[in-house]
Every structure is written in C-alpha cells, then in structure tokens.
Amino acid sequence: MEQPPFRHTLFAVQFFLAFSAYYFAARFSLDISAVHTFAAPLWPPTGIALVALYFGGRRLAPAIALAAFAVNFSLGAPLIASIVIALGNTAEALLGVYLLHNFRFRAYFDRLGDSISFIAVALSVPFVSAITGPVALALTGAISASALPETSLTWWIGDCLGALIVTPFLLKWFARRITHLHRSFLQWLESFLFFITTVIFAVLVFWDPIPEIKAIKFSVNCMKSSRQRGTFYFKICISQKTITISS
C-alpha cells in the first residue's frame, strides 16, 4: 500500500532537522572547547541523537550517522576514522534507545524507575563511541597514541553530560507536545519566547558580542578551565536541576 505524500514530506523534514541539530550542535561544542580537536567535555549531540531516535525511530539513524561523519571529516579527520566515528556515535544512540525501550522507560520521568534507568543508560552507552572514536583517530594518525587516554576520557565525559543535560529536557518537552497537540495561541507563544530567550542567552554567554557581559563570560571560562572531574560533577548538578525544572 502506497503511503500518503505527506508522510514522505514529514520524514524528509524530520531527517533534515535531526541532521541539522546534530551537526550544528557538534560544531558549536567543538568550537567552544575541544580536546585534541575531536573531543569536547560537553557533547549535546548525544542527547539530540537519543531524542531523535526515541521519537523518530531507527529510520533517522542515517541522519545521525551522516551528520557525525560530516562534522569530523570537515575538521580534518581521515575518511576511515570519520566513518568509524559516525558508526560508533550512531550505534551509541541506537543502543541507548533500545535499552530505554527494554526498561519500559517513559519520557515524562514521572516514576523513579524512569530516572534510574535513564541515568544508567546515559552513563553506560557512551563507552561505545568513547572507545571506537579515539581508537580510530589514533590508528589513522589523527591523534597521537599518548593523547588516546585523555581523548577517550573527555569523549566519554562529554557524551555522558550531553545525555544527562540535554536528553531529559528534550524528552519531556517533545513528549508533552506530542500528547497535547491542540494548544492555545498563548501556549505556543510561551514556547516560542522560551526558545528565543535560550538562544539569546547562549549567544551572549558563549560568543560575547557585548562587552558588558564579561562577568558572565568569566564564569563560563572558569568552568571550562576547571579539571574534567570537577566539571563532570558540576554538570551533573545542572542535569538534576534540569530534570526538576522540566518536571
């Protein structure tokens, strides 16, 4: 039975949004703070990939793989390494979504088991890409062998934080909007203003277009220059706050 044309259009839009969100979030993260060019201590694309595959299904996996390949290849990674990284990042997201479904996870985080299972997945599945990506880069000469441990650790921490910080907020946000499609004009206006405010603050904090916000910039730089372990616990506190706010 032939599918209606709008289904193909909807899939094309979902594919484009998943690819664009992953690609630009990845470039943004690596431009802000990168370790040996290819690893970042905070990697939001992990959370974006989990959310995209959780709601869009495995059919969006090629969008994640293509975006991951495009990011690393554009930064100078060898072709083979870029392919391996793309496959590892996609496998990480697929495994994470598979485990969440097996744990009977619900995106509303309204049960204690949902939070426990999600944290377990967020801390475990990043090992997939944190091993395959840096090893591929080392074997192809993109990074030195001595940089492999630091790159792998940063890769794992960044993916964990990306899942712990980004995924809960997006999961609840999209879950509620899928459940409540018929929203009033004021509710849609509220969501739009919240999105615009988030973008504006992100630009002000990270790009520093206005000299008067150097105090904010200084606090961000202090966080970035702290030790990785300290940053890890700091970010987890933010993640818990995000879950509290979104619930």
Report the range of poorest mean pLDDT among 5-14, 118-127, 208-217, 226-235: 226-235
Give whole-number Cα distances, 97 to 9, 159, 208, in Å: 24, 15, 36
Distance, in Å, from the CA atom of 159 to the CA atom of 115, rounded to the nearest integer, reads: 18
Q: Tell whether the model's pLDDT for residue 227 goes beyond 60.
A: no
User: Highest mean pLDDT: which of 28-37, 63-72, 161-170, 183-192?
Assistant: 63-72
Q: Tell whether the model's pLDDT for residue 187 goes beyond 70.
A: no
Q: For residue 235, name the pLDDT band (cuts at 50, 70, 90).
A: very low
Taking residues 185-212, report their average pLDDT: 60
Taking residues 86-106, report their average pLDDT: 94
Distance, in Å, from the CA atom of 121 to the CA atom of 154, rounded to the nearest integer, reads: 18
CB 102 within 8 A of CB 61: no
Distance, in Å, from the CA atom of 206 to the CA atom of 77, rounded to the nearest integer, reads: 25
| pLDDT value for 174 | 78
| pLDDT value for 37 | 83
Q: Tell whether the model's pLDDT for residue 241 goes beyond 70.
A: no
| pLDDT value for 5 | 58
Closest by CA to 47, choosing from 103, 122, 107, 116, is 122
Mean pLDDT of the residues in the chain: 78
Does this model's pTM top 0.85? My answer is no
- Alpha-carbon torsion 156, 157, 160, 161, what sign? negative
Report the range of poorest mean pLDDT among 16-20, 29-33, 130-134, 181-185: 181-185
Taking residues 28-49, report their average pLDDT: 88
Q: For residue 208, name the pLDDT band (cuts at 50, 70, 90).
A: low
Count of positions (residues) in the chain: 247
| pLDDT value for 189 | 66
CB 177 within 8 A of CB 59: no
| pLDDT value for 96 | 95
Distance, in Å, from the CA atom of 153 to the CA atom of 100, rounded to the nearest integer, reads: 24
**In sequence order, what are the residues at sequence separation of 6 or more whose Cβ sits closer than 8 angstroms to the Cβ of residue 228?**
41, 153, 154, 157
